[in-house]
Amino acid sequence: MPFDLEYHARTSWVSQASSPQPPPVPAPAGAGFGERMVREDLTKEVVADIVASQPDVLVVDLIDERFDVVQIQGSWYTMSDYYERSGLVPPMRAVATSTSAYRSPERLRQFEAAVSLLAPELASALPRTRVVLHQAWYTARSADPAVQFYASATKNALSSNEALSGWYASLRSVFGRRLHVVEPPRRLLVGDPRHRWGLAHYHYIPEYYAWTMAALSEIAEGPVIPRRTTFRPPSWAPDWAQVAAWAHRKVRRAAYRAMSGAVSTRIILPGDATRGRPIGFSSIYRR
């Protein structure tokens, strides 16, 4: 099903829920993906942009909550890799009055407060939008036995998934019956060394994305309020120590090509949405 995609990423819910202030650093002026991500984090305009777009489907993904957030003059900012590439992290950390580390208990409390503020606003302002949580988990399993994760990958996946579990619960609680939950089966939670952006905890095999796109297509054609709570096996629960247990087999690159070929995109803030997974806030429009 062809669709247009508006893509927002590299910004925490904590950042977007905080009050906008005069930027503590000059906003990047370039038109590239990284510059746009930094500007959106500085200006706190993601929710307003989504509301103005009135998408058919809003996909929420929390993988980009993996960055620390810092407080400067009463507002919070996401210390993403694009701030770092722009050389902005050192001056911002130098003047920050507080830092909320990824996976810290304080971060969960901040996230819950941000969701309590922004989720009702989104639900009210998007009455015809299907709101979807992509409930993704970190994996420490590689599809290629010859290309493995780093030594402490399982421990990191365990810790990250424990944090994600609390954040997902907060979203499910606040959005309530408005929320569709897409959670691919455990057998597909496998990292792909041949992924466009390389092996990572959240760069999965092609079959993962094909399954997810099929679920999103079904949601896009269905009612705003889900008939069922989640797209996942009914008794499924994450195995934190072994997030993905799937016997290795040859990865079919054709799944990527088929997925890319079936999607016609207008990517306002481009990422790897047609060769990977939308990260952050993503608004999907059906043609």
DSSP 151: T
CA atoms within 13 A on the CB side of 73: 8
pTM for the full predicted model = 0.80
Tell me the per-residue pLDDT of 162-178, one tens digit each, with 9 for 90 and over.
999 999 999 999 999 99
Task: Provide the percentage of residues in the chain whose pLDDT is more than 90.
Answer: 75
How far apart, in whole angstroms, are the C-alpha atoms of residue 31 and residue 38?
Answer: 11
Instruction: Specify the pLDDT at position 1.
Output: 56
Tell me the per-residue pLDDT of 4-35, one tens digit each, with 9 for 90 and over.
889 999 999 999 999 999 999 988 888 899 99
Tell me the per-residue pLDDT of 33-57, one tens digit each, with 9 for 90 and over.
999 999 999 999 999 999 999 999 9
Instruction: Specify the pLDDT at position 31.
Output: 84
Average pLDDT, the chain: 83
Instruction: Specify the pLDDT at position 29.
Output: 86
Tell me the per-residue pLDDT of 210-261, one tens digit each, with 9 for 90 and over.
999 999 999 999 999 997 655 554 334 344 333 333 322 222 222 222 222 2
Q: Encoding tokens for residue 237?
A: 């629960």
Question: Which residues neighbour 95 within 8 Å (Cβ) at sequence distance 6 or greater?
Answer: 24, 72
